[in-house]
Structures are given as structure tokens and as C-alpha cells.
Chains A and B, each alone.
Chain A
Amino acid sequence: MLKEGQIRIPSGCAISGVIDLEGGGVCGEEMIRSISVMHDRSNGLGGGFAGYGIYPQYKNLYAFHVFYEDQSAREECEKFLDRHFDIVNLSKIPTRKHPRITDAPLLWRYFLTPLATKLSHSQLDEREYVVRCVTRVNTRMKGAHIFSSGKNMGVFKAVGFPEDVGEFFRLEEYEGYAWTAHGRYPTNTPGWWGGAHPFALLDYSVVHNGEISSYDANRRFIEMFGYKCSLLTDTEVITYVIDYLVRREGLSLLEAANVMAAPFWTTIAQQEPERRERLTFLRQAYSSLLMTGPFSILVGFEGGLMALNDRLKLRSMVIGERGSRVCIASEECAIRAISPELDRIWSPKGGEAAIFRCKEEAQCQ
């Protein structure tokens, strides 16, 4: 089939997420119910989920989820993984036959940890080492694609409607403290398994509804730092920008949000001096990472979720809160589907990051 760069499809998406701030278990099946209500926002060319806290038995190991086009790609990739990691466990990702999910690649899952000698010789910190290995496979190894590489989290994605994708991956068998979900309506790139959302690097995952018109400016900047935008979709670049700003530059998520959805200069001018100075610095220091065009994104990370709209709020986003549960979705109906009664329902403003974190003691469980 034709992939990104070989075909352009000119043409909405749906996003949904849930987090239990007490760290209580949310079943994957709930996420399927939520996203399925927004069926008409996607067109069957991509669906996916990210679950956090789903691998407690391996929580200290990196969990790689990998697509392989064929056995030889698997053999080559496994040789590479063997050279760089201690593979503690490997298996096929459990799936079930599904009439509407076809042409599946080989789906493998590895729980691994960097080889100590390799890691020390590389003189890199552990997370950078993992990122470089993932980038190497995804850019140099034909037919292999690592689409999930965090600890105690996992991405599940495919071509199809999200509810079918969730059934295919047997998500009812997983429980986590947070989930995100996506129904895709691809606008620029063909629908293939790798191009479905969420996009993930380490424990950061992004689901996105919208279209980043500054994609190429953002891509040119981020590729200077070793990232490779191999999938040519705007969501991929958001994932790398978050990894760059938060992990490498040490910004807080809120600051990263202020870079990506920086307020207008006229708005910055009206702020209190201290805030004005901070916003001015961020906008000037990272001007190439300002994202223009419509977007609403959910960012998953270890211990929490962040919701963010573009500064003009050209996409919808609603947040519902009930007890320790927070649900975030493109439409209120997707929240009511899993939480009919709510204590509070609200919409963040354009460019206003809504960040939810599990209580620390809950994360340690």
C-alpha cells in the first residue's frame, strides 16, 4: 500500500480520556464505550488507545509494542533489541479475530531494560538511550515500527473504528489508572496502522483532533535535535515536541503548553508583570515550536493526563469531573456515556492546559 509521502488525502477526529486521581482501576472497556459514542467523528481509517498503569507486574521495565510487516523484520529487530536490551519477557500482543479489523501486521510486545554495559558505554542517560534505540528501529529498519515504548503503559492502535480496535486488542482485559482514546479521520495521510493515534515516545502519548498548520516549521526545528518525523503526520511532531520540551529542556508541562499554544502578544501584554515576563521568554525562546491551526490534544504521561486546545480554540473539548474520576472528551456525550452524573462539567479556554495528576501514593501502588 501507499504510505505517507506517496499519497495525499485531502479531507475531524474524536478524542476521549479518563483518569482516576486516586489511582483506581479503569477498565479498557469503559474507554471503548466512551469513544464509540463519537463514532461519526471518525471514518474507520484509524483508532487507538493508550493505557497507563496496565502492566503493574512489569512496572520497572520498558514495554515495547511493535508492528512487523513480516518475520524477517521481526528477526532483524529482535537481534537489535537483544544487542541493546535485556529482554525479560516477550510475547505476541493478545488479539481476537475481528470482522472489521483486517490486514494486521505481526504484533509483538517486549518487556525489557537497557543492557547495563551498553548503556554505560553510550554515556547517555537511560531514557535518551531508549529514545535513540526506538528512533533507530523506526527510521532504519524496514518493516519494523516500535509504536509504544514507555514503562507501565501501552499503546494499542490499528486501522478501523476505535470501538472495533478496542475489541480486537481485548482491552476489556486491561485495567489502568488513566486512558486516552482516539477515533481517526485522516486529513493528509493515508490510514495505516503506524499512522493511527496515539503517538508515543517513552511514557508520553498524544491523541489529537485537528490539523497543525505549522507542522513543517515545527518539524524542521525538532529534527535538529535528533528526532525523525518519519510518519509525516502532525501528531507525531507534537509527541516529539513534548518529549523535547519536558524531558530534555526540563520545562513543566504547563510551560510546554505555553510554548505550543502561546498566547497572542496582545494577550501577553495584559498579564501581570511576572507572568508576562515568563510568557514572553517562552514565546521568544521557542518561537519555532508555536503550533498554529486547530487542535485539541490529550497528552498521557506517567501519573497523569493533560488536555490542551489551540489558542483560538478551534476544536471542542469538554471536561467532566465526578469524585476522583476526570473524563475529557471532544463531546459531552462521550463523558456522559461512562459517567451519567457529574459534579462539574466545564471547557478549558483556548491555550489553557488542564493537567490532572494521580496522587503520588496512588501511583506507587
Chain B
Amino acid sequence: MKIDAHHMDYLLLNQAVRRQTDSEVEIDHCLGQRFIGTGLANKTLVINGVPGNALGAYLDGGRIIVRGNAQDATGDTMNDGEIIIHGSSGDATGYSMRGGLILVKGNAGYRAGIHMKSYGEKSPVLVVGGAAGSFLGEYQAGGLILVLGIGCEDRAPYGYFCGTGMHGGRIVVRSDHIPENLPDQVAASDLTPGELEQIMPHIHRYCETFGIDPQSLLPHRFYVLTPNAKNPYQRLYAMN
């Protein structure tokens, strides 16, 4: 079933999506409508155009496929399901994610994976194919952020202040570069073969989804950023 979103308000569009009995819904001419797929649990949603902020907020299952770029706060507090973006995503991708999977073919904006968390079986995964902005994994408390750094092999594929306030979870990076200025509370170490084995399914999933040859990414140096247990937080905020 197709919905033409041309000139459609976000409220009407979301109502139209929810009313659909088909398990697969395609939205054409999407242009900035917010909250698409909020709380959706069992549908596949294909979006042509630019979805607005908070795409797939509270997503609870099913799949959202974006044939283009996504804006800010994609997957805000999502609980389950998948969001697949065949382009880049804006700021705060995977904001407060607590389960499910987000695959971004290109780059992510600032604060990707901010406040991601995990509990019990719930463990969210955010995969960014290109580079992420500054404050990657800010306040991360759980889950996995995987940055493949495709196209920016000459530098660390993220900006300043990576992992600021991080106290759980992992950021795995495919890169030869570890910046000197990581926060003191973040520790970097090379991925062990066993750890690499663990994340291989996500790399394969990324490659299959976007038609990329895994051989072009591997073998490569991978490292992992985790909270530094030897240097716990004493002061919450940096000195300016």
C-alpha cells in the first residue's frame, strides 16, 4: 500500500500509516513530517523522500527503510525493530535507544548514540558506515555503536569529545587513528579476535543491506572505546 504524503501534515500522515492493515506501507513524497512510525510494532515502512525529526521514535518492532537521508533524533528511545537509512542521518541518531538496530549507510551527525542503554536481553546496536560527528556516544550507558569509517580512513571517523560522560556499552571503530584527546574516562584498546567475531554479523548485515563487498572493509584495524574503570568520574562537567 502506498501513501502520497505530498502536502500532508504529520498528524494525518501518521494516522494514515496506523490505519493501514497491510504489513508493508510505502510513503512517497515525504518532506519533513515528524514522528513517522512512532511506536510502530509490526509493519515494514518504506519512505521515499526526507522524513522529519524523531523518525521511528519508540519503535517497538518491524522495519523502517529510508531511501534517502534522515533528519535529527532518528530512533529516539526505540525499543525494538530496525531502521535502515540508505543515506546519512542527522544529529542525535539513536538518541536514548534501548533496543533494536539502526543502520546508516553514510554519515551520522553530532551526538550519535547519545544516552544509549541496555538491560537484560535488550541491547541496541547503531551502525554508522561513514563518519560520526562530535560527542559520539555521549553519556552512553549500554549497547553497541559501530563506526566503519568508510571514506575517511585517513583520520578518526568522529569529531571531538567522543564518549563524554560514557559509563557503559561499547563504541567499536574501524580505523587506524585514535585521537589523543579522548576524555580521560574513556579507554581505547584494539579489538581482540574474539570480540571481532562477535561484531562480524553486524558488519555482514551492513554490507548485505547496502550492497558493499565485505572484502573492501576487511581485514582492518578495529578498536573499542569503553568506560575507563581505572579513572571514574569525579567531576561531571569539564572545565569549560
Contact = CB atoms under 8 A, between A and B. Distances in A.
Interface of A: 37-38, 40, 264-267, 270, 312-313, 316, 318, 331-334, 336-337, 345, 347, 349-350
Contacts of B238: 264, 266
Nearest to A267: B160
Contacts of A331: 32, 52-53, 71-72
B240 interface: yes
B124 interface: no
A332 B50 contact: yes
B137 interface: no
B3 interface: no
B29 to A, nearest CB: 10
B71 A313 contact: no
Contacts of B72: 316, 331
B134 A333 contact: no
A266 B181 CA distance: 8
7 contacts: A266-B238, A312-B135, A313-B133, A316-B109, A331-B71, A331-B72, A349-B134
Contact of A333 (B32, B110, B135, B159): B32
B52 A316 contact: no
A332 B34 contact: no
Contact of A265 (B10, B110, B240): B240
Interface residues of B, number: 25
Q: Which 5 A-B pairs have CB atoms at the shortest separation, nearest pair first?
A: A333-B32, A313-B110, A333-B50, A333-B31, A37-B32
Contacts of B159: 349
Interface of B: 10, 31-32, 34, 49-50, 52-53, 69, 71-72, 88, 90-91, 109-110, 133-135, 159-160, 180-181, 238, 240
A318 B49 contact: no
Contact of A337 (B31, B71, B91): B31
A318 B88 CA distance: 12
Nearest to A309: B110
Given A266-B181, A316-B90, A337-B31, A332 B69 contact: yes
A43 B87 CA distance: 31
A270 B49 CA distance: 40
Contacts of A267: 160
B91 A316 contact: yes
A261 to B, nearest CB: 13
B160 A333 contact: no
A242 B184 CA distance: 36
Given A333-B50, A349-B134, 11 more contacts: A264-B160, A264-B238, A265-B240, A312-B135, A313-B110, A313-B134, A332-B32, A332-B50, A332-B69, A333-B31, A349-B133
A318 B32 contact: no
